[in-house]
């Protein structure tokens, strides 16, 4: 089984990224050949400062490694170290129906948030399909927001197979129902672009401040509170044991504890959860060449697979 996923280096990683994609991806590295990449070509659709893009890319590699990606088992690489994906994206774009791309939620969301409608933004799902198909991927661990992109990848693979014969495998999304949408401070999907994120490796004071600013209703301290749909309880469930979670839900229903106290409990759990990863991060930072070595080894392996698949594709469509 080949497992593949990508993450954009568009800023600091948050706990939505961690539970939605990184933790499942790290768990899957024991189950097959895993390839994880830093989607710098994709980030070019939003990041326009070269130094920022370079720094963010290294930072994503560092954070992913600190969270448990094991470079002995999984391949970690930069998207742009496999430039053949852009060739495959072109080939896919020649069969991609405009209507399919026009229906993409993420494109429509981005325009609704005021981003300029560039061709790159519109074509994003085609490049993402190339990212997946170029490694003959079987399984793609992602959060729910990426589901449609994977369906589009399958549609494009089918189009190529119908037109040129059996060229591509059809990949399956792997979406964990418990963590498919991690809520942010305002209860919406946690996202850097909504400003409702809690970062994995943020500063302690800032993280505490953010947790304390989770939006709640105004039920007074003494009154019973509804744990269903509470952002505090949802986030707490990511970190707490079953008993701890049951206990918080009990306390909610009983009344007598204010939201501030629940938020403090949540912060303590969250901070403790990431402590070993913070330590691992410091260790990695001490070894100046570690990240470069991991990425160059990763690029080599990713290129081996991509070159083989591209030979097959070029032959199938008549470019060789
Ligand atoms: P992005 O930051 O958009 O590159 O997202 C990287 C990965 O994290 C993707 O697989 C997303 O589906 C996942 N992800 C991002 N935000 C969330 C969230 N709030 N809940 C669950 N998964 C998320
Ligand atoms: N679009 C994904 C996101 O924004 C990142 C991504 C790019 C990706 N290419 C991919 C994820 C291929 C999985 C597989 O989160």
Q: Is 192 a catalytic residue?
A: yes
Task: Check pocket membership of 5 for ligand 2, CB cut-off 6 A.
Answer: yes
Contact 39, 78 (CB under 8 A): no
Q: Is 254 a catalytic residue?
A: no
Q: What is the pLDDT of residues 193-232, one digit of tens each?
A: 899 999 999 999 999 999 999 999 999 999 999 999 899 9
Task: Check pocket membership of 145 for ligand 2, CB cut-off 6 A.
Answer: no
CATH number 3.40.50.300 is the correct assignment for the domain at 202-273:
no
What average pLDDT does the segment 277-301 reach?
A: 97
CB-based contacts of 219, cutoff 8 Å, min separation 6: 225, 259
List, in sequence order, the alpha helices (H) in 70-116. Answer: 84-93, 98-102, 105-112
Task: Check pocket membership of 20 for ligand 2, CB cut-off 6 A.
Answer: no
**Cα distance between residue 107 and residue 268, in whole Å:** 37
Contact 230, 266 (CB under 8 A): no
Residue ranges around ligand 1 (CB below 6 Å): 7-8, 16-17, 20-21, 142-143, 145-146, 181-182, 189-191
- pTM reported for the whole predicted model: 0.94
**Best residue among 149, 175, 180 to mutate for probing ligand 2, ranked by most atoms within 8 Å of CB:** 149
Please say if the pLDDT value at position 11 is more than 90: no
Q: What is the pLDDT of residues 68-104, one digit of tens each?
A: 999 999 999 999 999 999 999 999 999 999 999 999 9
What average pLDDT does the segment 108-123 reach?
A: 94
Q: Is 141 helix (H, G, I), strand (E, B) or coil?
A: strand
When the candidates are 3.40.190.10, 3.40.50.620, 3.20.20.10, 3.40.50.300, the CATH number that belongs to 2-180+288-317 is 3.40.50.620
**Cα distance between residue 76 and residue 5, in whole Å:** 10
Contact 31, 73 (CB under 8 A): no
List, in sequence order, the alpha helices (H) in 96-198. Answer: 98-102, 105-112, 119-133, 147-164
Please say if the pLDDT value at position 10 is more than 90: no
Torsion of CA 88, 56, 192, 299, to 10 degrees: 30
Task: Indicate the domain borders of the chain.
Answer: 2-180+288-317, 202-273
| Arithmetic mean of pLDDT over the chain | 96
Q: What is the pLDDT of residues 135-149, one digit of tens each?
A: 999 999 999 999 999
């Amino acid at each position: 089984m080949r497992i593949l996923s990508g993450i954009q280096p568009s800023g600091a990683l948050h706990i939505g990224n961690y539970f939605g994609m990184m933790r499942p991806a790290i768990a899957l590295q024991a189950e097959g050949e895993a390839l994880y990449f830093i989607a710098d070509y994709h980030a070019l659709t939003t990041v326009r400062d070269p130094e920022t893009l370079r720094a963010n890319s290294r930072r994503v590699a560092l954070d992913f490694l600190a969270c448990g990606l094991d470079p002995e088992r999984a391949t970690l690489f930069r998207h742009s170290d496999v430039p053949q994906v852009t060739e495959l994206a072109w080939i896919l774009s020649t069969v991609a129906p405009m209507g399919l791309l026009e229906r993409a939620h993420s494109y429509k969301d981005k325009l609704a948030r005021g981003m300029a409608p560039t061709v790159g933004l519109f074509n994003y799902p085609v490049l993402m399909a190339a990212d997946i198909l170029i490694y003959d991927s079987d399984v793609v661990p992602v959060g729910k927001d990426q589901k449609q992109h994977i369906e589009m990848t399958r549609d494009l693979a089918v189009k190529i197979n119908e037109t040129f014969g059996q060229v591509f495998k059809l990949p399956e999304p792997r979406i964990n129902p418990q963590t498919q949408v991690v809520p942010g401070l305002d209860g919406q999907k946690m996202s850097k672009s909504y400003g409702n994120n809690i970062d994995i490796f943020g500063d302690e004071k800032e993280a505490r401040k953010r947790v304390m600013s989770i939006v709640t209703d105004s039920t007074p301290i003494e009154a019973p509170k509804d744990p269903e749909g509470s952002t505090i309880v949802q986030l707490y469930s990511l970190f707490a044991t079953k008993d701890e979670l049951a206990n918080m839900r009990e306390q909610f229903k009983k009344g007598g504890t204010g939201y501030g106290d629940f938020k403090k409990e949540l912060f303590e759990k969250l901070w403790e959860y990431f402590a070993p990863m913070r330590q691992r991060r410091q260790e990695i930072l001490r070894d100046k060449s570690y990240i470069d070595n991991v990425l160059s080894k990763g690029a080599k392996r990713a290129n081996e697979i991509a070159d083989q698949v591209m030979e097959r594709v070029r032959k199938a469509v008549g470019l060789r």
